[in-house]
Structure 1
Amino acid sequence: MNLKNYKPLLSLALLIIVAYILHKVIFYSFNIDDSAFHYSIEKLYLIFSVLSVIVFVVLLKVKEQSFDNIGMSFLLSTSVKMVVCYLILRPVLQASGENSIIEKRNFFAMFILFLAMETILTIRILNKNQ
């Protein structure tokens, strides 16, 4: 096992830690109470982190087998992740109230954040071999 090949996972972990700290600081500074949320911030970060790690493990395995298929693998794994996230989001979409609006925006922002991190790190993987 070559640890250099798994460097994107370390980068992903560092980005997730920084994003989590910033997220907690923002919630603290705006006095947003997440205890009434259907999913706590910690649960969401855990879910999104696990899904992102799975995406990157798949991408790194595809990179070892066939570098030309990384882009298609990224699109496929991201599509599967989107379906899983929708299934997780369904209870939040059905909720109503003031906190549900904040929770919906929070979920969407986290999804976009993790998608951006995955996209940037995938671009770095693709650019290394050029």
Structure 2
Amino acid sequence: MILKKYNSLFTVFIAAIIGLIAHKTISHFIIPKEFEDSFVYSTLLLYVLFALLSAVIISLLIMVKNTAENSVGFAFLAFTTLKMGIAYAFLRPIIHTQLPKTPTEKMNFFIVFIYFLIIETYVTIRILNNKQ
């Protein structure tokens, strides 16, 4: 019974691990090694950051579901907006540099951001449908 309570968080972390492995494998063949070594944020750091943010958001959504079931959608929008603000704060150093690697690094950042947004949306839909 307790494991069912944490099923949504488990989904986030398993998806993060699978995504990281797939991302690193694909980027190994596409992104030049010198670009990846000079990124402001490594791919691993981005996955850890966004996995933690997603875990916090999902935990808060579960708490909202337990206290005010009709407010889960609004809470998801509010927390996602807050996450976008945090992501923008992390993205600023990348935006303000003009190096040959910058477009690749921006694309890498947004791929990770969108991947975790999809995961959060999927888990939120499961929470709303009482399948957590």
TM-score bracket for the superposition, by shorter chain length:
over 0.9
Superposition deviation, residue 128 in structure 1:
2.2
Distance 1:43 1:89 in 2: 13
The runs of at least 4 consecutive aligned structure 1 residues that moved more than 3 Å come to none
Deviations 1:67-120, CA, capped at 9 Å, x for gaps:
111101100000000000000100000011121110001111111111011001
Q: Which letter maps to 1:9? A: L
Distance 2:117 2:68 in 1: 23
- Tell which deviates more after alignment, 78-87 or 119-128: 119-128
1:113 corresponds in structure 2 to 115
Q: TM-score, normalised by structure 1?
A: 0.94
1:20 corresponds in structure 2 to 20
Aligned residue-pair number: 129
Q: Which letter maps to 1:106? A: N
Distance 1:107 1:30 in 2: 15
Superposition deviation, residue 125 in structure 1:
1.1
Q: TM-score, normalised by structure 2?
A: 0.92
Query: What is the aligned-residue RMSD (CA, Å)?
Result: 1.4
Q: Which letter maps to 1:90? A: R
Residues 6 and 60 in structure 1, CA contact (< 8 A), matched pair in contact too: no
Superposition deviation, residue 31 in structure 1:
4.6
**What are the ranges of 5 or more consecutive residues in structure 1 without an aligned counterpart?**
none
Residues 59 and 73 in structure 1, CA contact (< 8 A), matched pair in contact too: yes
Q: Kindly report which structure 2 residues correspond to 1:1-130, keeping only aligned pairs within 5 A, or say none.
A: 2-33=2-33, 34-128=36-130
Superposition deviation, residue 37 in structure 1:
0.3
